[in-house]
Structures are given as C-alpha cells and as structure tokens.
Amino acid sequence: MHTIYGISLGPGDPELLTIKALRLLKESDIIFYPGSLYADGRKESYVLPMLKFHGLEESKLEGFFLQMSLDRTYAEKIYEETAEKIAEACFEGKKVSIVCEGDLSFYASFSYLLEKLKKINLPLELVPGINSFSLGAAKHQVPVSLQNERIAILPLETDIDKLDQSMRDFDTVILMKIRFGWKGLYEGLVLKNWQFYYCERLGTEHEFITSDITEVKNREIPYFSLLIIKK
C-alpha cells in the first residue's frame, strides 16, 4: 500500500503551500477535501479553489461535506464514511491524499480522520503548513511575538472578563472562531485600550483586514476569521 498523506494547504492563498505538498498532490490518484453543507442543501468548499488553482484534475477530487454546527453527530458520521472510502482507495493501491485549510494539526478536521485511520493501522504521513494567524500577522505587518513575549490562542471566547484576564497574563492573544458570540464580545472590546488586527478569508479574493475595530461593528463575521490582540 502507498502511504496516505495528510496535506496542509495554508490559510487561503494557493501559493502558500510547501513544495512537498504540491508535489504530493500532483502525484495523488485521489484527493479528499473538506467542505461545508448548509441547511438549504448547498455545498461549498474553502479549499477547492486552491486545488483548482494548481490545475489538479477534478476527476480525482473527492469532497466530504460537514454541517457548520457545534453538534458533532452528523460530522462523526461523515468522518466514518470518509475514512472507509480512504481505506478502500488505499487497499486498491491508489495514492491517496487528504487536504485541509491552514495547518492540519491546528483546529483541523483532518485530526478526526487521522484518529480513525490510525485505528485501521494504515500508513500515514502528515505535511504541515502555514497557520491563518501567521498570514494575518504578515498582512498587518506586525510581529506575533518578540523576545520573551507570551502568546495565547483562544477558540470561541465570548467572555470579556476572561479575555481581560488573558490580556493580563499574555502579551498577544489570538482569538479563533470568533463568529460565535461576536456581537456580545465586541461591546467589551471597543472599551479596551488594546491594539486589534482583524482578519477574514485571508489569502482569497474576499480577504478583508483592518486594525480599526469599529469597522467590524456591523460586519457579518464569516467562519474563516480571527482577531489578533496586542497590548
């Protein structure tokens, strides 16, 4: 059997993936990629444009689509089905890759598939990539950290008091998955004397960044967004 590769695609810019990642994608017989399934039946994928950018044959692209929900019941079913398809392709002697946005070890759906594939004892190798907050800092041209500065990365933080404590303990706080509970958190943020670096859909044609937190007040926050906060 060929080794199954988990491949990081980076935060959105199709050129921000490693040389190794691109080589393996071109060598693959089948590439499994994640997407979103909406209530109205629509299917969209954040990573599909990245794959198409590199001219990969659409016939070897296999999507698996997840509902955007904190309820993991449906997602667990999709992961089980996808792991079975991956195993079947591997046993058939195909070269299989699984891709995800950002880095596959950082809040990535790939980790759920990895757990299931390990149980089947399939040969695996992971190819790391660029995190979204690394590109965010580059776009804003600010350092994430310097010298002995401390960093905290917080997902789904909606409590301004807890965030205030984090800002006392750390020099930089990166908020991930800010879509959930953003409106309530925003009311507390505008009262703080912190530096804000907002980012959404980094590396895509729909990218938006700002260091003026008030510009985000009435904005509809997408899933692919983050906020870097510095003292």
Return the pLDDT at 70.
63
User: What pLDDT shows up at residue 69?
Assistant: 66
Choose among 21, 47, 49: nearest CA to 36.
Answer: 47
Q: Tens digits of per-residue pLDDT, 204-231? A: 999 999 999 999 998 999 989 999 999 8
Give the mean model confidence (pLDDT) for residues 6-26. 96
Q: What is the pTM of this model?
A: 0.89
What are the pLDDT digits (tens) for 126-152? 999 999 999 999 999 999 999 999 999
Query: What secondary structure does DSSP assign to 121-149, as a single string?
Result: T--EEEE----HHHHHHHHHT--S--TT-
| % the chain with pLDDT above 90 | 82
pLDDT digits (tens, 9 = 90+) for 39-82: 788 888 999 999 999 999 999 999 999 886 666 778 889 999 99
102, amino acid identity: G
What structural domains and CATH numbers belong to the chain? 4-127 (3.40.1010.10), 132-230 (3.30.950.10)
pLDDT in tens, 187-209: 999 999 999 999 999 999 999 99
Residue 110 CB contacts under 8 Å (≥ 6 apart), including other chains: 6, 34, 98, 100, 104
